[in-house]
Structure 1
Amino acid sequence: MSSTGDSATAADLAEEFRQLYGTDPEGVWAAPGRVNLIGEHTDYNDGFALPLALPHRALAAVGRRTDGVVRVHSADIPQGVFRLDVADLVPRSENPGADNGGWAAYPVGVVWALRAAGHPVTGADIHLSSTVPTGAGLSSSAALEVVTALALDDLYELGLSATELAVVAQRAENDFAGVPCGVMDQTASACCTEGHALLLDARDMGQRQVPFDLASHGLRLLVVDTRVKHELGDGAYAERRSGCEAAAAALGVPALRDIAHEELPAALERLAAAGGGETIRRYTRHVVTEDHRVEQVIALLDADDVRAVGPLLNEGHASLRDDFEVSCPELDLAVTAANDAGALGARMTGGGFGGSAVVLVEEADADAVTKSVTEAFAAAGYTAPRVFEAIASRGAHRVA
């Protein structure tokens, strides 16, 4: 999204804020969704990931309140204004049955997380709009969290860094909304820079901006939104996280990140000898090999050998499909149809169980690959996918 587009949308959002709340917002902020090039289900294993921010983003018009009330409204969801007292906010980590407002739990959870960390947030009026597709594995929830965190940080002069805002946003999703995600999504939304992918070390939050200019190489990265909605709070994500933690405990390491790639065969034998079932051995194999794939992709990008990344995307998809079992027929078809049409490589991206795939293509082949995927979906009787180009974009920032 261009800065001109941001400004126009910001003006519209500010006018809607005035109509909703009867006063002007104190500003408008933006935070993007993301795609993850490689490094899936590694962040909560203290591992590595390589996401990039999308042009698609959430916008928030926000004003402070001093009466302990938070009001939240979305231009995209016709459910009216949610009104909650900040003193009454209860995270699902303390009360699993808490009704935290459905989608509103993401921005409201940020208010709770900031207050729980001791920051003097006394309330807010928030009006949101987003172009990040929901349920598509593109971090629509993280964009809502990060844009809210950035706005409140600015308005209340909290002085938090982008990385600290990402951690606050993750806590909101983990504890308040009840989704046990890692920190990669929020960090990408908060910290990515235009024209770069972000190498994230989830253990110490170390970051490196990696140049990612595919156009200069005659390449494109396509996103195929299968339109199969995923829901990560349904237990399947939590089961995989707990399985990884059980494997690390059985191996006597803090996290699966601590198993080097060359140590994997011996680690799998140790798990089997300790009574570790096939499932946690498969989870272990995925995480260890996926961390290694991130390292391989970084080496290729540093060597300016971008085309060689393609086969590693295919390997990553096979691992997510077979070892981690988070793919679905639509994602598998998108990957197969793209590769059959000449893609350099493809894989599912995001938490899985639906959502999107990324496809690395020669610029000249982009239309043919898109056509192949679309026709394959039609032949299978699936809903037509949405295909668009991923362009490495700017992280969260103030727009008005």
Structure 2
Amino acid sequence: MKKQGVGHATGKIILMGEHAVVYGEPAIAFPFKGTGVTCTFAPATTSSLTSSHYEGKLSDAPSELRLIQQLTQTLQQDFGQKNFHLTIESTIPSARGMGSSAAVAVAVTRAFFDWIDEVLPKERLLHYVNYAENIAHGNPSGIDAATTSGDQPIYFEKGKAFNSFPLNIDAYLIVADTGIKGRTREAVDAVKELCRTQPQKTNELIRHLGSLTRQAKEAITTNQPHLLGRVMTAAHHDLSELTVSNQSLDAFVELACRHGALGAKLTGGGRGGCFLVLCQDAAAAALIQSKLKNAGVRETWMQGLGVYEHV
């Protein structure tokens, strides 16, 4: 056993296909390295936790941290380890559709295996992360676990296996938080009601979102950032037609495009939460970040894509 073990995981975003994926269309999820979680295990006399939400004995932690309690307890039981001190440092906002709980589970598991100096195959990692996600969400799709533990975009359709594909697009991506909590359930119910009351128009929008997602995959694999930007903005307009957006999201997307973004759209459940902005280069991204913050966006994060990921 090492003196300490360290594990890391990224956040995630839904790049394309939210809501339409419920109706059989494809979607793309994206590991977002602009946010992340780092966990550290070290020996201790009593199992304890240091995090932004709680500091103290793990047994006394509040109920919202039961994922960490039960995951670490299971890891201890499986490997016969004694008490520990776990430190969690995260820049992933919770309840924003960025995979916070899955990323924590990935980082905790990686840190634990690093601490006990054991090899961690991907299948074993996903076993523990999906166990933790079941605690957090009841019946997770596995998308968050696969995305936060990987390094490539994932293309998925309901009832089919996830497929990763190469990240090959030279651009920068901003994720921005409106500061308004998303209303996923409300948005899902609204789309369902539109399917009932306006079936032809709603089905056309959903099919079009699927087509845009396929174009986005093509744009990413063939390094066409302008095409990706166009389909992102078109997807936002479709989602707005489906009443998934709100006035703030529409205004921020329009502001970003007005100041030189290649494209922009909401991400996740909608009616609040976060949105995405695709930029040609770092200078354009920095300018748009500044404009968004001046307009009232709570927080922004940026990731270089393609060749810029390694600069």
TM range (shorter): 0.7 to 0.9
2:141 paired with 1:141: no
Which residue identity lines up with residue 223 of structure 1 in the other structure? Answer: V
Query: SS of 2:149's equivalent?
Result: helix
TM-score (norm 1): 0.61
Superposed displacement of residue 313, structure 1: 0.5
In the aligned structure 2, how far is the partner of 1:336 from the partner of 1:128?
Answer: 36
2:67 paired with 1:106: yes
The residue aligned with 2:309 is none
Query: SS of 1:32's equivalent?
Result: strand
Instruction: Choose the corresponding residue for 2:241, options 315, 318, 322.
Output: 322
Which residue identity lines up with residue 78 of structure 2 in the other structure? Answer: P
Query: SS of 1:37's equivalent?
Result: strand
Superposed displacement of residue 346, structure 1: 0.2
The residue aligned with 1:52 is 31
Query: SS of 2:78's equivalent?
Result: coil
2:155 paired with 1:200: yes
The answer to whether the 8 Å contact 1:146/1:190 transfers is yes
Which residue identity lines up with residue 132 of structure 2 in the other structure? Answer: A
The residue aligned with 1:172 is 132
Which residue identity lines up with residue 129 of structure 1 in the other structure? Answer: E
The residue aligned with 1:228 is 180
Superposed displacement of residue 57, structure 1: 1.4
Instruction: Choose the corresponding residue for 2:78, options 120, 126, 137.
Output: 120
Q: 1:352 to 1:165 in 2, by over 3 A?
A: farther
The answer to whether the 8 Å contact 1:58/1:128 transfers is yes
Tell which structure's C-alpha radius of gyration is larger.
Answer: 1
2:49 paired with 1:62: no
Query: SS of 2:13's equivalent?
Result: strand
Instruction: Choose the corresponding residue for 2:251, options 333, 341, 349.
Output: 333
Q: Deviations over 1:268-299 (max 9, x none)?
A: xxx99xxx723888876665443332221121
Q: 1:158 to 1:391 in 2, by over 3 A?
A: same
In the aligned structure 2, how far is the partner of 1:163 from the partner of 1:32?
Answer: 18
Superposed displacement of residue 347, structure 1: 0.6
Q: 1:367 to 1:100 in 2, by over 3 A?
A: closer
Superposed displacement of residue 61, structure 1: 1.5
The residue aligned with 2:167 is 211
In the aligned structure 1, how far is the partner of 2:140 from the partner of 2:201?
Answer: 20
The residue aligned with 1:293 is 212
The residue aligned with 2:299 is 386
In the aligned structure 1, how far is the partner of 2:125 from the partner of 2:21?
Answer: 17
The answer to whether the 8 Å contact 1:146/1:169 transfers is yes
Which residue identity lines up with residue 233 of structure 2 in the other structure? Answer: N
- Give the share of equivalent positions with the same residue, in percent: 19
Superposed displacement of residue 338, structure 1: 0.8
Superposed displacement of residue 153, structure 1: 5.2
Q: 1:332 to 1:277 in 2, by over 3 A?
A: same
Superposed displacement of residue 225, structure 1: 2.0
Which residue identity lines up with residue 196 of structure 2 in the other structure? Answer: G
Instruction: Choose the corresponding residue for 1:344, options 262, 271, 294.
Output: 262
The answer to whether the 8 Å contact 1:163/1:187 transfers is no
Query: SS of 1:327's equivalent?
Result: coil
Which residue identity lines up with residue 178 of structure 1 in the other structure? Answer: H
The answer to whether the 8 Å contact 1:153/1:160 transfers is yes
In the aligned structure 1, how far is the partner of 2:167 from the partner of 2:275?
Answer: 21
Alignment of 1:180-195 (within 5 A): 181-192=140-151
Instruction: Choose the corresponding residue for 1:365, options 284, 293, 297.
Output: 284
The answer to whether the 8 Å contact 1:342/1:361 transfers is yes
The answer to whether the 8 Å contact 2:173/2:305 transfers is no
Query: SS of 2:166's equivalent?
Result: strand
Structure 1 residue runs of 5 or longer lacking an equivalent are: 1-22, 85-98, 248-270, 378-382, 394-400
The answer to whether the 8 Å contact 2:58/2:69 transfers is no
Q: Please, what is the CA RMSD of the aligned residues?
A: 4.1
Query: SS of 1:229's equivalent?
Result: coil
Superposed displacement of residue 321, structure 1: 3.0
The answer to whether the 8 Å contact 1:142/1:169 transfers is yes
In the aligned structure 1, how far is the partner of 2:190 from the partner of 2:74?
Answer: 27
Which residue identity lines up with residue 176 of structure 1 in the other structure? Answer: I
Q: 1:350 to 1:330 in 2, by over 3 A?
A: same
